[in-house]
């Protein structure tokens, strides 16, 4: 199966049937290039959700607000990319605000400016030239050191389940809270990096007890874990032992 771009966008927006979602998830497990595209677009979803939040608090026509918030992330992405070219060709974003007077254009520019701002302050995920997305900063530290069995921290990245994948790598699910939505995912230890295998947007903050972490995963992440896991999730003792050996494959 070779998913089309439209099918991948529908997968990201969770607009496919359960069977089709599972088929594409299986393809992503074998195609790093397609998985990289999905990861990049999911990151954009989280950034756009945060970018829309302050703008939607302003007094704007309800009909326009509903239309923006109901648009799939792929549509918002295309709008943002078109407007990015405009902003990049003028000296300041203020010029765009003065020139594009209609409310719809103002909303779209707000999205673009928000995306650019969010991109500049998001330190925890980076896409490499190879197409892989790796954890950095606080997320990398949490993946390396945080014990889910010790309970969720009050703030910052939260670790869910830990397990070994079919390639013998140690993997961990995680949630990074955002202002409007959280970003959930699963990453596996490869060499010196935590390489992200799947990402999904999740409403609110997904925290809770260690035993419940798997149940709180968005379907996309849960399906990825189910496709990767072998031998079951680590218990508290196994998780601690894996942490103490630096998540190195045995």
pLDDT of res. 240: 95
Least confident interval from 24-38, 70-84, 148-162, 217-231:
70-84
88 with 138, same domain: the answer is no
Verify that 156 and 237 share a domain, yes or no.
yes
Residues 42 and 52 in one domain: yes
- In this structure, the answer to whether residues 117 and 14 fall within a common structural domain is yes
Residue 225 in any domain: the answer is: yes
Question: Are 240 and 162 in a shared domain?
Answer: yes
Return the higher-pLDDT residue of 159 and 62.
159
In-domain check, residue 24: yes
Q: Are residues 84 and 146 in the same domain?
A: no
Catalogue the E-assigned strands of the chain.
125-127, 133-135, 158-165, 170-176, 181-190, 193-203, 229-230
pLDDT, residue 110, reads: 39
Q: Is 50 exceeded by the pLDDT of residue 91?
A: no
* Any domain includes 93: yes
**Pair 118, 150: CB distance under 8 Å:** no
Q: Report pLDDT digits (tens) over 143-186.
A: 999 999 888 787 889 999 999 998 899 999 998 887 666 788 89
| Most trustworthy range by pLDDT among 25-29, 70-74, 118-122 | 25-29
Measured from the Cβ of residue 64, the count of other Cβ atoms closer than 10 Å reads: 15
Confidence of residue 126 (pLDDT cuts 50, 70, 90): confident
- Over 70: is that where the pLDDT of 49 sits? no
Residue carrying structure tokens 């709008």: 79
Res 102 pLDDT > 80:
no
Calpha distance 141→146 (Å, rounded): 8
Distance CA 87, CA 185 (A): 32
- Residue finishing a domain among 73, 98, 122: 122
Tell whether 170 and 205 lie within a shared domain.
yes
Domain boundary among 77, 103, 122: 122
Phi, psi of 125 (to 5 degrees): -135, 135
Q: For 97-101, 105-109, 224-228, which range has the lowest pLDDT when averaged over its residues?
A: 97-101
250 in any annotated domain: no
Distance CA 184, CA 206 (A): 8
- Same domain? 65 vs 180: no
Q: Is residue 235 part of a domain?
A: yes
**More confident of the two residues 51 and 124:** 124
Contact criterion met (CB below 8 Å) for 108 and 79:
yes
Indicate whether 249 belongs to any domain. Answer: no
Number of residues that this document lists for the chain: 250
* Separation CA 241–CA 231 (nearest Å): 16
Whether residue 186 sits in one domain with residue 161: yes
pLDDT at 69: 53
Write down which residue in 122, 155, 172 finishes a domain. Answer: 122
Q: Domain tally for the chain?
A: 2
Beginning with the edge strand found earlier in the chain, give each strand of the sheet holding 133-135 in spatial order.
Answer: 125-127, 133-135, 193-203, 181-190, 170-176, 158-165, 229-230
> Are 16 and 117 in the same domain?
yes
Quick one: 200 and 147 in the same domain? yes
Please state the rounded mean pLDDT for residues 63-84.
Answer: 52
* Residue 73 shares a structural domain with residue 117: yes
| Largest Cα span, the chain | 61
Q: Are 39 and 133 in contact (CB under 8 A)?
A: yes
Cα separation, 160 vs 69, whole angstroms: 29
Residue range(s) defining the domain that contains residue 141: 124-244
Is 103 within the bounds of a domain?
Answer: yes
Residue 30, pLDDT > 50, answer yes
Count the alpha carbons within 13 Å of 170 in the hemisphere toward its beta carbon.
22
pLDDT (mean) for 234-246: 95
Torsion angle of C-alpha atoms 187, 189, 192, 197, degrees rounded to 10: -30
Confidence category of residue 67, pLDDT binned at 50, 70, 90: low
Number of H helices, E strands in the chain: 10, 7
- 181-190 and 193-203 beta bridge pairing: antiparallel
Place of tokens 């050996």: 245
- The percentage of residues in the chain with a pLDDT greater than 90, rounded to a whole number, is 20
pLDDT band at 140 (very low <50, low <70, confident <90, very high): very high
Question: Average pLDDT, stretch 212-227?
Answer: 71
How does residue 77 score in pLDDT terms, banded at 50, 70 and 90? very low
């Amino acid at each position: 199966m070779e998913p089309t771009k439209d099918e991948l966008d529908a997968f990201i927006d969770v607009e496919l049937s359960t069977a089709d979602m599972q088929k594409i998830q299986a393809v992503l497990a074998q195609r790093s290039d397609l998985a990289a595209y999905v990861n990049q677009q999911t990151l954009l979803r989280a950034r756009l959700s945060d970018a829309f939040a302050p703008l939607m608090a302003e007094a704007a026509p309800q009909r326009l607000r509903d239309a923006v918030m109901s648009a799939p992330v792929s549509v918002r992405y295309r709008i943002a990319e078109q407007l990015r070219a405009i902003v990049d060709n003028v000296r300041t974003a203020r010029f765009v605000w003065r020139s594009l007077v209609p409310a719809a254009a103002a909303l779209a520019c707000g999205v673009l400016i928000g995306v650019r701002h969010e991109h500049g302050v998001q330190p925890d995920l980076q896409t490499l030239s190879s197409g892989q997305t790796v954890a950095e900063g606080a997320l990398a530290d949490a993946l390396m050191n945080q014990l889910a069995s010790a309970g969720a921290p009050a703030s910052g990245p939260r670790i869910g389940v830990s397990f070994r994948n079919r390639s013998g790598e140690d993997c961990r699910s995680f949630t990074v809270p955002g202002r409007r939505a959280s970003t959930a995912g699963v990453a596996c230890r490869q060499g010196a990096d935590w390489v992200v295998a799947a990402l999904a947007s999740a409403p609110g903050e997904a925290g809770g007890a260690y035993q419940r972490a798997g149940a709180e995963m968005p379907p996309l992440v849960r399906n990825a874990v189910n496709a990767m896991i072998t031998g079951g999730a680590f218990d508290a003792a196994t998780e601690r032992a894996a942490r103490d050996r630096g998540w190195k494959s045995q």
